[in-house]
Amino acid sequence: MKITAEIVNGKCPTCNQLSILVGLTREFYRCLTCGSDLHQHINGKISYLPAINVPPGTKPFVRDWKDNNGPGKG
């Protein structure tokens, strides 16, 4: 059994920092700056979004992220 990790540079939406992202699969990565788990989306460009585990019977709340100014800054 051979395990390989993919290491990429990207902007983490959780800590809003350019960071090294490590992935053991092609879809899920972990930010080495803050430790958050991210899900990779490819839709014309590669985006990393927080991976959300939702308990049964609840609805997730995701706030809007604004480019270049960080979360919640206008």
The string of pLDDT tens digits covering residues 41-59 is 887 777 777 777 777 887 7
Q: What is the pTM of this model?
A: 0.59
Number of domains in the chain: 1
Q: Is residue 15 part of a domain?
A: yes
Cα(53)–Cα(56) distance, rounded to whole angstroms?
Answer: 9
Q: Is residue 23 part of a domain?
A: yes
Cβ–Cβ under 8 Å, residues 23 and 35: no
Q: Is residue 69 part of a domain?
A: no
Among candidates 41, 42, 47, which has minimal Cα distance to 65? 47
Which structural domain, as residue segments, surrounds residue 34? 6-50
Q: What is the pLDDT of residues 1-25, one digit of tens each?
A: 887 889 999 899 899 999 999 998 8
